[in-house]
């Protein structure tokens, strides 16, 4: 009981420290998307390589991952806005991103499937979804969340933990992570999913947000697992820490691990560089199995990773892409964090 009280006090202190500053910043900067060049762009060459491959993925920041599996372009939890939260009168009240998108939105390939794991604002961004809406795209989402999806998509399918879906030869199965689905305080009825995708020659897990759990151990093996590794301090009961993620990944029998949910929005108290450093330390001699650690670094199954690009289109300077250094900090990150 005393431990519970201490934890609640710690969480309340964390929110109180952060909230006033975020609120003031929200009023200063509207929730518009990051600067996107005007005019249409063609698909970025690195992303063209990805979507021409059998199996691959690229981290686009936070929980947004573009993956290629079974001939489909699959995008998880797309959040491309400058700020996430509630939008009122054109102003979004919420947290601001620390790092820009690695590619302009218009340089993304056509998306066949969008996977929405749950309705938390950092995963389910209505302005981004509105811009991505296309009759060619199928949205798969958790129960009681379809109504939040903007109009304009070909299909919006709610998937619960008992049914499976066949999307052009790729089976999609929802699994229950250790998390919750309420967008606000009063809507705890909403579902929350992890997704297992199975094609003829590949299996990929999108874990979404989860605390440590043994549910994934029964699903393996997979060629690629996408796990969140950040925002565990003091939210360890909602978000696993890097060591717990490595344990879940090995229990799953994963071959490659793509880490996300760090270095994009400041949600936890830990330093933005800490999650990836702790994950690589936990992986030890298996750190080569941790892939796509930097935003925009395209991982292709069976090939060396490509250099990530800066938003201006220039290749990033520095270490070889396969050396798995922590995510690069963008200018101004320290001023933006709270
Ligand atoms: Zn969440
Ligand atoms: Zn989250």
CA-closest candidate to residue 225, choices 257, 193, 195, 247: 257
Ligand nearest 120 Cα, by number? 1
Cα 209 to middle of ligand 1, angstroms: 5
Q: What is the mean pLDDT of residues 263-290?
A: 97
Ligand nearest 177 Cα, by number? 1
* Beta-carbon neighbours within 5 Å of ion ligand 1: 120, 209
- Higher-confidence residue: 88 or 284? 284
pLDDT at 318 over 50: no
Does 133 reside within a domain? yes
Cα 320 to middle of ligand 1, angstroms: 33
Identify the CATH number of the domain in which residue 192 sits: 3.60.15.10
Give the least confident one: 103-107, 167-171, 240-244, 320-324. Answer: 320-324
Does 6 reside within a domain? yes
Does 107 reside within a domain? yes
pLDDT confidence of residue 266: 92
Burial 211-242 (b: 16+ CB within 10 A, else e): bbbebbeebbebbbbbbbbbbbbbbeebbbbb
Q: Could you tell me the pLDDT band of residue 94, with boundaries at 50, 70 and 90?
A: confident
pLDDT at 336 over 80: no
Q: What is the mean pLDDT of residues 92-107?
A: 92
Cα 252 to middle of ligand 2, angstroms: 21
Give the structural domain span for 192: 2-31+41-303
Count how many domains the chain has. Answer: 1
pLDDT confidence of residue 4: 63
pLDDT confidence of residue 122: 96
Ligand nearest 181 Cα, by number? 1
pLDDT at 74 over 70: yes
Give the least confident one: 19-28, 218-227, 246-255. Answer: 19-28
Does 100 reside within a domain? yes
pLDDT at 192 over 80: yes
Q: Where are the alpha helices (DSSP H) in the chain?
A: 2-28, 45-51, 126-132, 242-252, 274-283, 333-336
CB neighbourhood size of 3 (10 A): 7
Quote the pTM value: 0.83
Does 326 reside within a domain? no
Ligand nearest 119 Cα, by number? 1
Q: How much is the mean pLDDT over the chain? A: 85
Q: Could you tell me the pLDDT band of residue 86, with boundaries at 50, 70 and 90?
A: confident
Does 327 reside within a domain? no
- Higher-confidence residue: 33 or 57? 57
């Amino acid at each position: 009981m005393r431990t519970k009280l201490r934890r609640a006090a710690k969480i309340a202190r964390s929110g109180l420290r952060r909230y006033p500053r975020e609120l003031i910043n929200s009023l200063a900067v509207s929730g518009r998307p990051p600067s996107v060049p005007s005019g249409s762009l063609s698909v970025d060459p690195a992303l063209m390589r990805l979507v021409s491959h059998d199996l691959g993925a690229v981290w686009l920041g936070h929980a947004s991952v573009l993956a290629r599996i079974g001939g489909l372009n699959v995008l998880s939890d797309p959040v491309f806005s400058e700020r996430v939260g509630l939008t009122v009168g054109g102003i979004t009240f919420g947290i601001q991103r620390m790092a820009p998108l690695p590619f302009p939105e218009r340089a993304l390939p056509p998306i066949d499937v969008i996977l929405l794991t749950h309705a938390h604002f950092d995963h389910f961004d209505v302005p981004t979804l509105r811009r991505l809406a296309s009759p060619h795209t199928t949205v798969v989402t958790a129960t009681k969340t379809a109504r939040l999806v903007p109009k304009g998509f070909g299909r919006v399918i709610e998937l619960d933990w008992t049914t499976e879906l066949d999307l052009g030869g790729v089976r999609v199965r929802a699994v229950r992570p250790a998390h919750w689905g309420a967008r606000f305080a009063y809507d705890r009825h909403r579902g929350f999913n992890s997704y297992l995708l199975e094609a003829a020659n590949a299996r990929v897990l999108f874990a979404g947000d989860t605390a440590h759990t043994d549910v994934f151990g029964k699903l393996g093996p997979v060629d690629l697992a996408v796990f969140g590794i950040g925002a565990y301090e003091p939210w360890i009961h909602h978000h696993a820490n890097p060591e717990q993620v490595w344990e879940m990944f090995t229990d799953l029998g994963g071959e490659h691990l793509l880490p996300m949910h760090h270095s994009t929005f400041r949600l936890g108290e830990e330093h933005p560089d800490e999650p990836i450093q702790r994950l690589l330390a936990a992986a030890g001699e298996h750190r080569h199995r941790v892939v796509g650690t930097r935003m925009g670094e395209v991982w292709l199954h069976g090939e060396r990773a490509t250099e990530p690009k800066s938003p201006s289109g220039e290749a990033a300077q520095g270490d070889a892409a396969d050396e798995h250094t922590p995510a690069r900090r963008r200018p101004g990150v320290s001023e933006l964090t709270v």
